[in-house]
């Protein structure tokens, strides 16, 4: 048996959009089940996101700490952001987020993993990149606002982050998945065996 997710779309009898926000919306679909019954499914429609696990030459991961109102916490995270433009190249978006949130650029980019964050209630897909060979960006820093104006920055060794994940001390999806995927890749075929930065992404097709 091959362990691989497969695309499938069940019949939708009707659909409505009861809420539309600035970046996301809520959709209600009437979905036909295998037994013929029809059920309502509410979910958030999301443009997709990118995240960057940036590792410096000392083996430390670049982190930011930011207030997240829905969970009433300041969370340690890796740089991330929305795919604001339909069809936007995710690598370009990731490079932008690394610059805007950390004022850093990277010379080596790989796809670390792709993940659906909460597939039972949201169609968001996130591509997590591995970025290496880091350097500070020269020139003026990006002007942040709102929650980003209160961000903290840190560089933390991978082993310390793994302990924090397993201890339940950090909770951000992209950080948890990214760090554990990094360790798995290092202990598997190696980081150079990861997919190239512009590998296809069926969940969010883009122009190279």
CA 182, CA 178: separation in Å to the nearest integer?
Answer: 6
- Per residue, the 3-state secondary structure of 69-105, as one string, reads HHHCEEEEECCEEECCCCCCCHHHHHHHHHHHHHCEE
Query: 21-25 long-range contacts, Cβ below 8 Å, gap at least 24?
Result: 23/47, 23/82, 23/84
Catalytic residue among 124, 148, 186, 198: 148
Bridge partners (DSSP) listed for residue 74: 67
**H or E segment to which residue 174 belongs:** helix 173-187
Q: Check if 148 is active-site.
A: yes
Residues with a catalytic annotation lie at 148
């Amino acid at each position: 048996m091959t362990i691989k997710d497969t695309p499938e779309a069940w019949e939708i009898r009707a659909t409505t959009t009861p809420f539309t926000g600035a970046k996301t919306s809520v959709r209600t679909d009437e979905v036909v089940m295998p037994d013929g019954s029809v059920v309502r499914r509410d979910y958030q429609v999301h443009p997709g996101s990118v995240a960057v696990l940036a590792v410096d030459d000392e083996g430390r991961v670049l982190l930011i700490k930011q207030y997240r109102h829905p969970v009433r916490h300041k969370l340690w995270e890796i740089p991330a952001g929305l795919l604001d433009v339909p069809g936007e190249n995710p690598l370009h978006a990731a490079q932008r987020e690394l610059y805007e949130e950390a004022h850093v650029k990277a010379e080596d980019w790989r796809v670390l993993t792709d993940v659906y964050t909460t597939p039972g209630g949201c169609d968001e897909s996130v591509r997590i990149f591995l970025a290496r060979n880091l350097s500070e960006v020269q020139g003026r820093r990006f002007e942040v606002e709102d929650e980003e104006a209160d961000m903290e920055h840190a560089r933390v060794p991978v082993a310390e982050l793994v302990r924090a994940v397993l201890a339940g001390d950090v909770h951000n999806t992209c950080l948890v998945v990214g760090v554990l995927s990094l360790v798995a890749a290092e202990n598997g075929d190696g980081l150079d065996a990861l997919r190239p930065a512009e590998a296809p992404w069926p969940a969010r097709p883009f122009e190279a």
